[in-house]
Amino acid sequence: MAPLKFCANISWLFTELPEFTQRMRAAARAGFRAVEAAWIYNADLKELKTVKDETGLEFALINTPPGDLDAGDLGLCAVPGREQEFRQGLDLAVRFAKALDCRRIHLMAGRVPAGADRSAVAMEMEDTFVQNLKHAAGVLSQEGILGLIEPINTRITDPRYFLHSPHQAAVILQRVSHPSIRMQMDIYHWQIMDGNLTQNIRRYLPMTGHIQIAQVPDRHEPDSDGEISFSFLFKLLEELDYQDYIGCEYKPRGSTEAGLDWVTRYWNDHK
C-alpha cells in the first residue's frame, strides 16, 4: 500500500505569515511537497510561480473565485442568473491553474439566496449547477484539469450553502456524467452532516478526486481531541488505494509548525 500524500492548505496553515509565497516556503521547509489554497487571485501570479519552481512544490488545488464576499457570495456555480460571472471566474481560475500547473479546481456551488426557502429554489439551483458544471467540464477537459464539487455542512459552517451532503453531490455528478467533474471529500463536513464515514468513504471514493481533513467539532489538527479517529481513516484510505492528495484544511490550535507532529509521525512511519 502506497503512503498517503498530504498537502498544506495555505489559506488555513502558516497564516502567521502574511503572504502566500511566504507560506509556500514555510510549507516546503516543514516537509510538504504540495500546497492548496482557496482564493489566490489577489496574489502576484508570477511570484507564486517563481516560488513554486524554487521550492519544487506542487499546487494541488485552488477554488474558483467566490463572487462578491461582502455581498454574501460564496461561489456562483449553482446560483441562477449569475452564469456569466461564473464563467468569467472559471476562466480566471483556469489561467492561474495553468500557470501553476495545478490539476484541480474546486467549483464552488454558492449559497441559497438570502430570504429564500431552500426547498422552493432547490430544483432551479440544481439545474443551474448542472448546466454550469457541464460547461466547466468542456473547458477543463481541454486543459487536463479536474473540476471538483464539495459538500459543505449547513449545521455549523454555512447554513445557506447549496451543496451540503455527499448524497446530494452524487446525484448531481450523475446528472453531469463527465469524467472531468468529481467530488471533493471534506471529512470534517461529512462527519457533521452525515457521519457513517467508513461506508460513505467506501461508497463515494470512486467518484472522489480530492480529500480534505480536520477534526470535529473544533476544526483543529487531526490528532486533537474530537469525534474522528484519523489513524483508522488513514488506514482505510490506504487499504482503498487512495492516491490523490489529502488537503490539511484545519485551524491550528497554536502555531502551525507546533501542530504538525501528526503528519511528521505519519511521514516517519511510512519512510
The pLDDT tens digits for 125-165 are: 999 999 999 999 999 999 999 999 999 999 999 999 999 99
Among 26, 6, 38, 37, CA closest to 242: 6
Residues composing the chain: 271
- In 187-253, the DSSP E strands lie at 208-213, 245-248
Out of 58, 126, 221, 249, the active site residue is 249
Question: What residues form DSSP beta bridges with 183?
Answer: 149, 208
Query: Do residues 248 and 8 make contact, with C-beta atoms less than 8 angstroms apart?
Result: yes
Among 265, 268, 206, CA closest to 237: 206
The values of phi and psi at residue 67, to 5°, are: 95, -145
249 is annotated as an active-site residue = yes
Alpha helix positions (H), 56-209 = 83-100, 118-143, 166-176, 187-193, 197-204
pLDDT digits (tens, 9 = 90+) for 99-115: 999 999 999 999 999 99
58 is annotated as an active-site residue = no
Tell me what pLDDT residue 57 has. 98
Query: Do residues 15 and 22 make contact, with C-beta atoms less than 8 angstroms apart?
Result: no
Out of 150, 221, 227, 238, the active site residue is 150
pTM for the model stands at: 0.97
Q: Which residues of the chain have pLDDT under 70?
A: none
